Amino acid sequence: MNNQPSANKFWAWFNPMGRQVGGWAFILNRITALGLTFYLFLHLIVLNQLAQGPAAYGGFIALTENPIVKLGELLVVAAAIMHGLNGIRIIFTSFGIGVTRQKELFYGFMVVALVAILFFAARMYMG
């Protein structure tokens, strides 16, 4: 019964045993995708405050000053940067660019991601 849903196939993503860089890139792409999808719909729901008027929106904006909410925002920014750059690497290799240099591409993009995340973290927490 090969063609049956299997929860094990999902949980196997989180198994760190025997992974190579490509495996981590694959998992990173999926986990950030799931996180960003969840955030997208949450974001759409929250933006409904704009339709309710200035008081409702003001209350939501005040909430964004909460350090835990800020941490959540930083996680979203980090996920978006990593998913975006990892996605660009996948597009490159899908069209035959850098296929033999995928490890280097991944490491290079993740260094760029790290720098960008640190920049946004500094901007968020230190003004």
Tokens matching residue 1: 């019964």
Number of residues interacting with other proteins: please give it, by CB under 8 A. 46
Per-residue interface string for the shown chain with other proteins, residues 31-60, x marking contact by CB under 8 A: --xx-xx--xx--x--xx-xx-xx--xx--
DSSP state, 65? T
Among 78, 80, 82, 110, binds other proteins (CB under 8 A): 80
Those residues with Cβ within 8 angstroms of residue 79's Cβ, 6 or more apart along the chain or in another chain:
32, 35, 36, 39
Whole-number Å distance between alpha carbons of 80 and 40: 11
Q: For the beta carbon of residue 27, count every other beta carbon within 10 angstroms.
A: 16
* 102 sits in which H/E element: helix 102-126
| Binding status of residue 20 toward other proteins by CB under 8 A | yes
Give helix 67-94 / helix 21-46 axis angle, nearest 10°: 130
Binding status of residue 87 toward other proteins by CB under 8 A? yes
- Does the protein bind other proteins through residue 126 (CB under 8 A)? no
Q: Is 67 in the site for other proteins (CB under 8 A)?
A: no
Shortest separation between residue 57's beta carbon and other proteins, angstroms: 5
Chain contacts with other proteins (rule: CB under 8 A): 2-7, 9-10, 20-22, 25-26, 30, 33-34, 36-37, 40-41, 44, 47-48, 50-51, 53-54, 57-58, 61, 64-65, 77, 80, 84, 87-88, 90-91, 93-94, 99-100, 102-103, 127
